[in-house]
Amino acid sequence: MIGAIIGDIVGSPYEFDRGEKIKDFGPLFIDESEYTDDSVMTIAVADGLMKAGLMKAGPMKAGLNCDNETIRREVIKAMKTWGRKYPKAGYGGIFICWLQHEDEGPYGSWGNGSAMRVSSVGWLYDTIDRTREVARITAEVTHNHPEGIKGAEATASAIFLARTGKLKDEIRKYIVDEFGYDLSRTLDEIRPTYRHVESCQETVPEAITAFLEGTDFEDVVRCAVSLGGDCDTLTCIAAGIAEAFYGVPDNYKEEALSRIEPDMRGVYERFVKISK
């Protein structure tokens, strides 16, 4: 999960095509690097999933396999709690309305918000089928359009496959076969015409391609930033997968944790204990 938060923070200064679309853009972290709604909602989903699990008897990890309705309820509650606590993190207008109303249901979005907040799901469950099922639940609370659901499932699946030792070719094949994303283009082919777009269908394949083409954690981050567009979200997704495949250097973890709020760090620390 820390990979996704790092990606969000590093990508934040370059959102809305404010970068030069190059990998050598200087240090990963600069003064303007800050968390956005991507990190807040990543923390919120993890918090909701852990609270749902704690409602079951037995070891905490085993308790994560609770019923779907409990997961749905606790994820909604956590997203609204965290979103209201940090209301100026950069949410979209419709999502803000969802946060503010207790009885607001899903609104058919195919936006990339469902994919950027899902990274914890890829770490918490023991099978890819359960991973996909829970990813679907975390998407459907707002993003119940098929593309919004697909983006969340694909991202969580890539993380699950990466953390369980699959090779990049195996991950690529699974994503293409199961979700139909075009992963045949290189970053050099994508970069010239890529622009700021907030749909899953034009963010998730590009983020996965950045992961596939990168050579280590930092290189994946730089690959993602170099595409431009909705850079914080794209890099959040790509770096979340890269963490599962490569791990994250300790100095990057420490830097990212120093830039989020203490209560967010508390959720991350609980998550680390559970997901081991």
Determine the distance from the C-alpha atom of residue 105 to the mean position of all C-alpha atoms in its chain, rounded to a whole number: 22
Report helix, strand or coil for 110. Answer: coil
Task: List, in order of start, the domains of the chain with CATH numbers.
Answer: 2-275 (1.10.4080.10)
Task: Name the burial class of residue 59, with classes exposed (0-12), middle (13-18) and buried (19+) by CB atoms within 10 angstroms of its CB.
Answer: exposed
CA atoms within 13 A on the CB side of 159: 35
- In DSSP notation, 166-204 reads --HHHHHHHHHHHH-----S-HHHHGGG-----BGGGTH
For the entire predicted model, the pTM comes to 0.95
What pLDDT does residue 275 have? Answer: 84
Distances (CA, A) of 155 to 24, 118, 142, 149, 200: 26, 7, 17, 10, 10
Q: Which pLDDT score, from 0 to 100, does residue 16 have? A: 84
Q: What is the pLDDT along the chain (276 residues), one digit of tens a residue?
A: 999 999 999 999 998 888 899 999 999 999 999 999 999 999 999 999 999 986 443 444 555 668 899 999 999 999 999 999 999 999 999 999 999 998 879 999 999 999 999 999 999 999 999 999 999 999 999 999 999 999 999 999 999 999 999 999 999 999 999 999 999 999 999 999 999 999 999 999 999 999 999 999 999 999 999 999 999 999 999 999 999 999 999 999 999 999 999 999 999 999 999 887
Q: What is the pLDDT of residue 76?
A: 97
